[in-house]
Amino acid sequence: MINKFVITGGVAGGATAAARLRRLDEHAEIILLDRGEYISFANCGLPYYIGGIIKKREDLLVTTAQDFSLRYRIDIRPFSEVTAIDRKNKQVHIKDHQTGKSYRETYGKLILSPGAAPLKPPLEGIDDPRIFTLRNIPDTDSIKQFIDTQKPKHAVVVGGGFIGLEMAENLVFRGAKVTVIEMADQVMTSIDPEMAHFVHGHLKRKGVLLELKNGITGFLAKGDHLAVKTSSGRVIDCDMVLLAAGVRPENELAVQAGLPTGKRGGILVNNALQTQDPDIYAVGDAIETRELTTGLETMTPLAGPANKQGRIAADNVSGRRSTFKGTLGTSVAKVFDLTVASTGKNEKSLLAQAVPYKKSYTTSGSHASYYPGSESMTIKLLFSPSSGKVLGAQVVGGKGVDKRVDVLATAIKGGLTVYDLEELELAYAPPYSSAKDPVNVAGFVAANILKGDVVTVYSEDLKDLDPQTHVILDLRTPIEIKMLGALQGSINIPVDDLRGRMGELDPDKTYILYCAVGIRAYIAYRILVQHGFTAKNLSGGFTLCGHL
């Protein structure tokens, strides 16, 4: 008996499933339906084509329907939208947008890969042709044509996530002044606020205006311009708007077919990516899966998980047994000259889910400092206070950030602890790393905390310090302080002078120690506590806390 598989939606999840199915079953009947023209394209590359970084439009096309069909002998049907699922008769209803005709197709197993759509709230003026969303090739063509012909001088980007900031960068490259409006108090909500501070500063240095803790209430056409009305009452004039305020799972087919969805609207699946209906599977941005670290439900609209899910679903519908064990949400983004990456849990979610944790901050160079071109990166590490198991990490900096977040993602997947990070044997040569890689350094500092070799405080603790009992001690040089400033109320003793000046310190006080990034403060901590003083190290140092 010939197996018959129908897949709705292409790109990362659907196209991957189709190719995998053919490799597993040369004789199966495989039908791939997509309501658009392009079944497989590099959606993560769209902002860079708009910005002119990617020069050729055809480079965005991973494959064409014709080429894909030729190689894999798959029945590819573009412009074919599935409008309903008849679970009882195992049929899908299809609308052919080229002919206008509707018809039905039977299936043995059905894989849903509908993706997620950009949020477009029903606000006044939302349908103005100068307001865009970015999801696919036609969206890209529309935005690029508008920029090429109208040459907007001022653009507003609504949303400070991945797409929003990537588009902000590329709009700047195209000559526009850009304002980013974000309802939260930070951009890039996958990272924590103090790490996002680095991103805020970098955006401002690149000329991007930030409107944080502000939302959109409507749009008004003003001749050749658009007026963007905000919840703060401020009205921003611009030439175009890009809506990038998040996505919603395209769950309509599943809901109409009576398939359960989760709290976030994603289609619910088991670890085989099977819905409640044993003959229907779902993959990609439209599904809810499990967090790898906690087992809680989550949605991860990223290309990497979607590709893996397509492969796993294909295994299962063809009779193999594969499981999707969960997601870490590992991500990386380029924001001008800054790289922002994260994996696993962030502190906000650990607090919300009442998961015990400790944290550390370290700042290291991307490679040996004596080899030209080293760039700084800051790592925030979140780990279990009992076992030391790594729970999450965030890395912000220049070169080498992607390498380190990948190592840390692998550590979380493997159940490694901060003690394991200390011992990791990572590749070293002066152009690429240091003998103690930034990941090793993060492990050293976190392990020191757990072993009791250092007691830490954090930027959020400073506001609660009693000046009668606590003294903030700056271990940097006077030149550094003159150039960069200092924390309010701090006193200065350079670390190299500390042993000779301990007579100036009050043994009844608690000293909050800080330097640029924490290394000198740790040295000072070890000196002071062994001489009977009470001290705490300000984790992250002035680099992290200097904006307070």
C-alpha pair distances (Å), 341 with each of 196, 285, 346, 408:
11, 20, 11, 11
Q: What is the rounded CA–CA span in Å between residue 501 and residue 104?
A: 85
Q: 262: closest CA among 300, 223, 315, 216? A: 300
Q: What is the rounded CA–CA span in Å between residue 438 and residue 404?
A: 7
The alpha helices in 160-302, defined as continuous H runs, are: 162-173, 193-205, 252-256
C-alpha pair distances (Å), 194 with each of 120, 134, 161, 488, 536:
29, 29, 16, 18, 20
The residues with which 537 forms a beta bridge, in sequence order, are 456, 513
Q: Are 112 and 267 in contact (CB under 8 A)?
A: yes
User: What does the angle CA 202 – CA 548 – CA 539 come to, to the nearest 5 degrees?
Assistant: 90
C-alpha pair distances (Å), 115 with each of 10, 16, 284, 447, 524:
9, 14, 6, 41, 53
State the greatest distance between any 2 C-alpha atoms of the chain, in Å, as a whole number: 90
Q: 57: closest CA among 131, 130, 138? A: 138
Residue whose structure tokens are 């949303």: 159
Q: What are phi and psi of 222, to 5 degrees?
A: -130, 75
Q: What is the rounded CA–CA span in Å between residue 474 and residue 494?
A: 7
Q: What are phi and psi of 178, to 5 degrees?
A: -120, 135
Residues in contact with 348: Cβ distance below 8 Å, sequence separation at least 6, in sequence order:
189, 192
Which residues are catalytic, by number? 44
Q: Are 7 and 33 in contact (CB under 8 A)?
A: yes
C-alpha pair distances (Å), 105 with each of 5, 13, 90, 145, 318:
11, 21, 8, 37, 19
What sign results for the dihedral spanned by CA atoms 218, 222, 223, 225?
Answer: negative
CB atoms within 10 A of CB 327: 20
Q: Are 182 and 214 in contact (CB under 8 A)?
A: yes
Q: 184: closest CA among 203, 158, 145? A: 158
The residues with which 157 forms a beta bridge, in sequence order, are 180, 242
